[in-house]
Chain A
Amino acid sequence: MIVAVRRGLHERMASTLELPFFRLVSLFIARTFDSGGKPGTEQLDFGIGLILALLALPGAVVSILLFDKYSSLLQFFRGARDFDSYAAALPDEYFFIVLSMVVTGAVAVWWWDTIFLDRRDYLNLVPLPLSTRRIFMANLTAILFLAVLFALDVNAASSVLFPVVAAGAQQSLTYLVRFAAVHALVVVLASMFSFLSVFAVVGSLLLALPYAVFRQISLPARIVLILGLLSLLSTSFAVSAVAGHLGEHPTQPCDFCRRFGSWVFAKYCVSGQTLP
């Protein structure tokens, strides 16, 4: 019976994916990973598997490096008997938020306008019996799917490893689960925010400027965005120290820190973990 149900579900899934709308969505996703034959594209072609593996790496590496900081055995040997893992985790939490925003933002800058409909889509899809609304909705679905996919991928390793590292030594399982859930939610939301923000910038530029002008300013705009992401990452070490006090004074962030979008997510994180 289970086999029959599974077969039924599989067939239903296959027939759903064969619907024109989902074929369009999968086309938009697949073509994002391929720039072959498309003039004016500067990026290299990587397979989706390699891209996902590379993006998951930073979160995993940073989490593993934090074993040293949170290990209760090492704390014991160091003589730190009253080690407050929650207070110690806040700067790291902030760093993970920044890292997720920078990595997913960089992916969005790397792709730039490839996810949006272009001349090739115009020539291939517009003469087909498809409404413009359906093409637009399929493109939007593809963008949202990729935003969720990358947000989950970039933060997958850290969402498992960091809570285990930082809160694994706590007596209460509820605390560990809550810590993990809030961490995962906040970093995934921060990633999606960063990814969609870059696409919002690209979309606005495409809408406001003639295409020739857009192509001319694409490189400078991408450089500016990358510099912005790098400065966010580089200042995260300084801001992390301030973030350590967020637990004590969650409503009084310093003016300097308030300028960062990442700070908002750090505040959400503190709120989530301190809610009664």
Chain B
Amino acid sequence: MLEAKGLTKRYASVPAVQNVDFCLLAGQVLGCLGPNGSGKSTTVKMLTGLLDPTAGKVFLHGRDIRDDLVGYRKRLGYVPEEPNLYSHLSGYEYLELVGTLRGIPKSHLIGKIEALLDLFKLFSHRHASLASYSKGMRQRILLISALMDNPDVLILDEPLSGLDATSALVIKNLIKELGQQKKAIFYCSHVLEVVEKVCSHLLILRQGNVIAYGRSEDIQREIGQSSLEHTFMHLTAEADVEDTARQIAAVVSSK
């Protein structure tokens, strides 16, 4: 369904992402992991068409997304890392604007917005300005705006950021549910426990390169680790984390 071939991005000849290849099929939830600066956000921006790759291409159903970017985005739902919304609008107005710009018919749009606001526990705040929303509430607005047009492909960049425990649980179950509805989901996160629970496949990046890709059980079996945390540490850690933590604590407590 969504395929990346040789995806590369260089900033002034410094490579941010190099030769990323993967294939995300309908019903799969692909977790993208990596330490800070590993190229996750750059990969996400290239997948959404926000950034032009220096080399390589992204295909949807075998067709280069650059051939019809507007058509591709019609089938795409995207939750960015930071909820930078229009603060002069209310939550309802923002969703109505997004729905209109997505070309959803008004008759269908109103009912859908109200139903989703209710389910995401935002209905009573719908007419409040987005400036007064907490980070978690803004995150939920972003999730609604990504889902409201029933996309085939979902790209989620840290979607649980700022959410309370209950909302986070709902979203984790929602991702599984959407996967069962044959949607292709690209899930980018730092939270290993969540990725372990919701993702069927993994793409692990380090310094812009793919260091592991495949079914999560297969990767863990291959590395010989029992949990995703241990697998991730084995693949990406440059230093002994326990030793580093001990050294920091020693510096903090030193006089």
Contacts and interface: CB of A to CB of B under 8 A. Distances in A.
B102 interface: yes
Interface string A11-55: 000000010100110010011011011100000000000000000
B88 A34 contact: yes
Nearest to A125: B101
Interface stretch (B70-78, B163-171, B181-189, B220-228): B70-78
Interface stretch (A116-124, A139-147, A234-242, A267-275): A116-124
Contact of A120 (B69, B71, B86): B86
Given A18-B100, A120-B84, A127-B76, 7 more contacts: A33-B88, A37-B87, A124-B86, A125-B101, A126-B49, A127-B80, A131-B70
Contacts of B131: 36-37
Interface string B19-52: 0000000000000000000000000000011100
B73 to A, nearest CB: 4
B194 interface: no
5 contacts: A20-B101, A34-B86, A36-B87, A127-B78, A128-B98
Nearest to A30: B88
Nearest to A27: B97
Interface in B90-148: 97-98, 100-103, 106, 130-131
B100 to A, nearest CB: 5
Contact of A129 (B80, B82, B85, B103): B103
A276 to B, nearest CB: 52
A156 B69 CA distance: 45
B70 A129 contact: yes
A127 B48 contact: yes
Q: How many interface residues does chain A have, given as a range? A: 20 to 34
Contacts of B49: 126-127
B161 to A, nearest CB: 14
Contacts of B97: 23, 27
A31 B88 contact: yes
Contacts of A36: 87-88, 131
A122 B88 CA distance: 17
A20 B103 contact: yes
A147 B84 CA distance: 28
A-B residue pairs, 8 tightest by C-beta = A37-B87, A34-B88, A129-B74, A129-B73, A127-B78, A36-B87, A129-B70, A120-B84
Contact of B100 (A23, A31, A125): A23
Contacts of A30: 88
Nearest to A118: B84
Nearest to A15: B106
A124 B88 contact: no
Nearest to B155: A127
B88 A24 contact: no
A123 B71 contact: no
A128 B106 contact: no
A125 B100 CA distance: 12
A67 B85 CA distance: 50
A119 B84 contact: yes
Contacts of B85: 37, 120, 124
A129 B69 CA distance: 8
Nearest to B75: A129
A9 interface: no
A74 interface: no
A130 interface: yes
